[in-house]
Amino acid sequence: MKIGISIRAVDRGGKLRVQRNRPSDGIERKIRRIRFTLHFQLVQLAVARRREKLRQATNAVRQIAGRENQTPKMDELSLIPAPSSPALVEVNSRPTYIPDYSTPRFRLTPRHFAYLKIAEGCNHPCSFCVIPQMRGKHRSRTPKSVLAEIRGLLSEGVREINLISQDTTYYGMDLWTAKAGPRQPVDSTRGPTLAGLLREIQEIEGDFWVRLLYTHPAHWSDELIETIARCDKVARYIDIPLQHIDDSMLGRMRRETSRQHIEELIQRLRIGIAGVSLRTTFIVGFPGETEAEFASLLEFIRRVRFERLGIFKYSQEEGSRAAKMPGQVPVKIKNARYRTAMSIQREIAHEIAREKTGRELKLLVDQPHVARSEADAPDVDARVVLSKEAPVGEFVQRPIVGSRGYDLLA
């Protein structure tokens, strides 16, 4: 008897969708080369839009499902007899799944830090993005589920928990009795919120810190800022992708914020949270971006001096509104704008690193001679190079003796 092997191909794109184009092309090419009797479970972000191409690629495809469309049926297909003409089984064509504490999980991160998804989906209509089409509407986990997972991770030795979702600041608002609007600020008087969750996390015993990633500028409130300021287990680090600052660009991007709102929010964050490090990302070369609009972005970067900043060159995302917009910017211009913006940020980041010389910082050790500060998220930010070896996965206090580019020396 032939045994069909179940292979799950996973596309981990979606967070940086502006960098991706036709993410399932590679999967299609690989499937066409398959000459074995294999049953594939295709779990990747683009299948909702490209089912037909994947279906036609080969009859080896047994099941097609979006990553959030998990059901017991998927695990049941792990090892089954291979039929001569397998029938296609589609699982939940509309995204409804929410990962929770009961979901089996195999962590790929080191033992001492973890990513914890607190919600799935997004309600924002950004014109460059197709995440709402692929992941569905925002769906929050219950606070009980999140807190249970945090306690479980801490018991395994985790010291840093990175809270993630497509819109972390909207957490809990979909659970309110009264519907929350698209620009609703965090307000715990109306139901579960990120602020309320952070206050409960603060009460958990242990030496650890929590990092906020992927917050949206539309939902920040004084309550959330004050909560972070009072909770010493919340890292003084805010990831808040802004994408642009020019009002015309923000309108075309359908970002649901304005320059004035962003400027005021940054001021409130820096006044309200002592020592906070702000990380953001911007898109250059978005359709219709003029030299004046780009110059406005550069002026903003120079003046605000973000501690951490990334630049993405816009690329057309299939199925997005922006992909069909007129005024697509040539690649040569996008590349030039990217280099210009990054050169400005490089100087700012190096200056900020030099200014930390002489300070003593709490560091989380990633490798015997490599650590990170509160200002550095894993994989995307700077490092602290240690002159003396330290235990991996533990916190240490070290004086900063210098810097080398983006990195600190301790």
* Distance in angstroms (rounded) separating the CA atoms of residues 53 and 62: 14
Taking only the tens of pLDDT, the chain with its 410 residues reads: 344 444 444 444 444 333 333 444 455 544 444 444 444 444 444 555 555 665 566 555 555 555 545 554 444 444 344 445 444 455 555 667 777 767 767 788 999 999 999 999 999 999 999 988 888 899 999 999 999 999 999 999 999 999 999 999 999 999 999 989 888 999 999 999 999 999 999 999 999 999 999 999 999 999 999 999 999 999 999 999 999 999 999 999 999 999 999 999 999 999 999 999 999 999 999 999 999 999 999 999 999 999 999 999 999 999 999 999 999 999 999 999 999 999 999 999 999 999 999 999 999 999 999 999 999 999 999 999 999 999 999 999 999 999 999 999 99
pLDDT of residue 50: 59
Domains detected in the chain: 3-90 (no CATH), 113-355 (3.80.30.20), 360-409 (2.40.50.140)
pLDDT of residue 93: 52
pLDDT of residue 181: 85
Could you report the per-residue pLDDT of 84-94, keeping only the tens digit for each?
A: 544 445 555 56
Could you report the per-residue pLDDT of 194-235, keeping only the tens digit for each?
A: 999 999 999 999 999 999 999 999 999 999 999 999 999 999
Cα distances (angstroms) measured from residue 223 to each of 76, 119, 191, 193: 46, 20, 13, 10
